[in-house]
Amino acid sequence: MAWTTPRTWVAGEVPTAAIMNAHVRDNLNALKDPPQAVAENFNATLSTTSTSFANITGAEVTITTTGGRAMIGFQISQTASGGTSSDFTCYEITIDGTAVSGHANGVLITYTGAPISFTHLTAALSAGAHTIRIQWRVNTAVRTASASKFQLWAREA
List residues near other proteins by CB under 8 A.
44-52, 54-55, 57-58, 81-82, 137-138, 141, 144, 146
Q: How far apart are CA 67 and CA 84, in angstroms?
A: 44
Q: Is 82 or 128 the residue whose CB approaches other proteins more closely?
A: 82
Q: Is 55 or 66 the residue whose CB approaches other proteins more closely?
A: 55
DSSP-based three-state secondary structure for 21: helix
Kindly state the smallest distance separating residue 133's Cβ from other proteins, in Å.
13
Q: Is 27 or 48 the residue whose CB approaches other proteins more closely?
A: 48
Nearest to 67 by CA among 124, 6, 1, 133: 124
Kindly state the smallest distance separating residue 76's Cβ from other proteins, in Å.
14
Q: How far is CA 121 from CA 44, 63, 139, in A?
A: 26, 15, 26
Kindly state the smallest distance separating residue 55's Cβ from other proteins, in Å.
8
Kindly state the smallest distance separating residue 138's Cβ from other proteins, in Å.
7
Q: How far apart are CA 59 and CA 13, in angstroms?
A: 49
